[in-house]
Chain A
Amino acid sequence: MALVYGWHVELPAETYTSLTTEYILNKSKQDKDFVFITPAMPNILGLSPDWRKGMGPQYVDTGITEEHAIAFASGVAKAGGKPLVGTAATFIQRTYDQVSQDVCINNTPITILLNYASFDSLTDVTHLGIFALSAFSNIPNLIVLAPTCKQEYLNMLDWSVDQTDHPVMILIPGNAVTSRETDKDFSKLNTYKVEQSGEKVAILALGDFYQKGEELAKQIEVQLGFKPTLINPRFANGLDKNTLKDLQKKHNLVITMEDGILDGGFGQKVATFYALTDMKVKTYGLKREFYDRYNPGELLKELGMTTKQILNDIQKLI
């Protein structure tokens, strides 16, 4: 309950956007080297005019200038500041070269925060956020992180903004906020988290598809009678080769799930890793298509990605 303009109103429970706003406001108060930068998209991260004013020089709207905003952030990091750049996933496409050259070749430790990266957010063809993961994953030096819940998101933000070794891109989850304890330190790059240890089938559920992975794992136990392994990759663009090798001992099928197009994405990297082995890999994600004004639930069904459909596939494969 909250007092809004004199009325008691039931506000929605916290969202990833509201968590982001809170993080930005608190961090700017605690750390004078922190600066939030946006190419004209403060509302996407929930920053109202009053809050922006309160942040003083630690809030920078660069105008509609994705290229400049990214290079600007690189300069800030180079001279010892802590820049966080926030915008919608669809707009980061406008500045591939600046991420690659102004930032990644120079390895400047900026954090890029992308909202509306999920297939379940903006569905207009010209505002799709589903290509960001694949497009930017393959730039060297860039660490792409995919948090799966509230604590993980905030921990990743905390770690990324304060560290000075890597440029980082964080995909804000597009589903409802869930809670569970997670790691706080992500400096051991490309290490997956085995959330549930099992056998036969290993599910690698990336980012905001983690909850789908949880549901699938549960159903496998109920309907197929064994406990599968459930893994939270955290790192969307680097392979945890040790964990993947280890899976070969007790599993013969790996399922990958990602909220983005498959081409050039997470699952294909996993599949390539196992190519010369006996491990079967089935990747789930979106096709390389310009989807337009779709119903996300319907699309999932079309792509064969409902829990029931995946369960069916698994039965045929194991």
Chain B
Amino acid sequence: MYDILKTINNPQDVKKLNTEQLNILAEDIREALFNRLTKFGGHFGPNFGIVETEIAMHYVFDSPKDKFVFDVSHQSYPHKMLTGRKAGYIEDEHFIEDSGYTNPDESEHDLFNVGHTSTSVSLATGLVKARDLKGEKYNVVALIGDGSLSGGEALEGLDFAGSEIHSNLIIIVNDNQQSIAEVHGGIYKNLDKLRATKGTDPCNFFKTLGLDYIYEENGNDIQAMIKVFERVKNIDHPVVVHINTQKGKGYKLAEENREAWHWCMGGMWNFLQKLILL
């Protein structure tokens, strides 16, 4: 168990893996997630759905030099496992060491304490501004879910990036067609259209705001995600990478009951909670 994950102590270790090993790593991560989430509690669906993307992020980019900002950061567990904190997922006595969100006190790979939604793009644009004032060079990557797009601060951040940022900024929009409950808002009609046309429809919310745009249909395919990140690495302007993923992917119950499996409590309460909600 955890044959590949056991060998990962930092993102450098991820870069050494071949295709097959990366796929096994994804399985290991899901096992580790299941271990922590069913015993200790936390966010289930969001993390199961983002495994491949976060593996690819660390495979292609160079954190902590390249800076990642996770929106809400409830979906940063795979990232934590890949940045020296796997113990908090595979060893029960270490559960307590990891918080449920990014935490600068735990790791230099975590830039901010986050928990409220829609802040990632704004925070990322600030990093970009300081980077540019100081003449430094690194990638700034924000990861935001489609649910969080409805938050005003996210819209302000995207709008600002679309006209005021003229340098590297990568905004991954993780579209799993779900908030905690179902999504609400006109913007989702546009996301539906974009997914249906594989990102080619000329009516494109992000382009309207002045942002460059790439669509990736297979957000849960490591090789596809590595390819798209290699394409945008070191890009010299803001770009939205709109990816399609499946919330809860890898655990059938979570895939089929996305609202109930957004979050789970640990231990016996987990079992009871699912029983009641189903």
Task: Write the residues of chain A forming the contact surface with B, with a CB cutoff of 8 angstroms.
Answer: 32-33, 35, 57-58, 60, 62-63, 65, 67-68, 71-81, 83, 97-98, 101-102, 105-106
A62-B164, A101-B116, A102-B119 known; A71+B126 contact, CB < 8 A: yes
**In the docked arrangement, what's the CA distance between A60 and B166, Å?**
13
Are A75's CB and B134's CB within 8 A? no
Are A79's CB and B159's CB within 8 A? no
Are A74's CB and B160's CB within 8 A? no
**Pick from B111, B113, B115, B119: contact of A71, CB under 8 Å:** B119
Interface string of B152-192 (1 = CB under 8 A from A): 11001101100010000000000000000000000000000
A57-B132, A101-B119, A106-B112 known; A75+B127 contact, CB < 8 A: yes
Q: Chain B nearest CB: distance from A140 CB in Å?
A: 13
**In the docked arrangement, what's the CA distance between A32 and B160, Å?**
22
Q: Chain A nearest CB: distance from B180 CB in Å?
A: 18
Interface string of B131-157 (1 = CB under 8 A from A): 111100000000000000000110011
- In the assembled complex, 19 residue pairs joining A and B whose CB atoms fall closer than 8 Å, in A order, are A35-B129, A58-B133, A62-B160, A63-B156, A68-B122, A71-B126, A72-B123, A75-B126, A78-B111, A78-B123, A79-B67, A79-B126, A79-B127, A79-B130, A79-B131, A79-B134, A98-B122, A101-B113, A106-B104
Task: Write the residues of chain B forming the contact surface with A, with a CB cutoff of 8 angstroms.
Answer: 67, 69, 104, 111-116, 119, 122-134, 152-153, 156-157, 159-160, 164
**In the docked arrangement, what's the CA distance between A77 and B133, Å?**
12
Most buried by B among A57, A71, A75, A102: A75
Are A72's CB and B122's CB within 8 A? yes
**Pick from A58, A71, A80, A83: contact of B122, CB under 8 Å:** A71
What residues of B have a CB within 8 angstroms of the CB of A60 in the complex?
129, 164
Q: Chain B nearest CB: distance from A23 CB in Å?
A: 18
**In the docked arrangement, what's the CA distance between A71 and B160, Å?**
12
- 6 tightest CB-CB pairs across the interface, nearest first? A75-B126, A81-B130, A79-B130, A71-B122, A68-B156, A65-B156
Are A67's CB and B132's CB within 8 A? no
Interface of chain A: mostly helix, strand, loop or mixed? helix
Nearest to B69 among chain A residues (CB) is A75
What residues of B have a CB within 8 angstroms of the CB of A63 in the complex?
156, 159-160
Are A72's CB and B129's CB within 8 A? yes
What residues of A have a CB within 8 angstroms of the CB of B132 in the complex?
57
**In the docked arrangement, what's the CA distance between A97 and B113, Å?**
13
**In the docked arrangement, what's the CA distance between A265 and B160, Å?**
35
Are A57's CB and B123's CB within 8 A? no
**In the docked arrangement, what's the CA distance between A78 and B119, Å?**
14
Are B119's CB and A72's CB within 8 A? no
A67-B156, A68-B156, A68-B157 known; A101+B133 contact, CB < 8 A: no
Nearest to A105 among chain B residues (CB) is B113
Most buried by A among B104, B122, B124: B122
Are A76's CB and B129's CB within 8 A? yes
**Pick from A68, A76, A80: contact of B153, CB under 8 Å:** A68
Are A78's CB and B126's CB within 8 A? yes
Are B129's CB and A71's CB within 8 A? no
Are A72's CB and B159's CB within 8 A? no
Are A71's CB and B164's CB within 8 A? no
Are A33's CB and B133's CB within 8 A? yes
Are B133's CB and A75's CB within 8 A? no
A33-B134, A79-B131, A106-B112 known; A74+B126 contact, CB < 8 A: yes
Nearest to B132 among chain A residues (CB) is A57
What residues of A have a CB within 8 angstroms of the CB of B128 in the complex?
75
A58-B133, A62-B156, A81-B130 known; A75+B113 contact, CB < 8 A: no
A62-B156, A80-B134 known; A101+B114 contact, CB < 8 A: yes
**In the docked arrangement, what's the CA distance between A102 and B6, Å?**
34
Most buried by B among A32, A63, A72, A80: A72
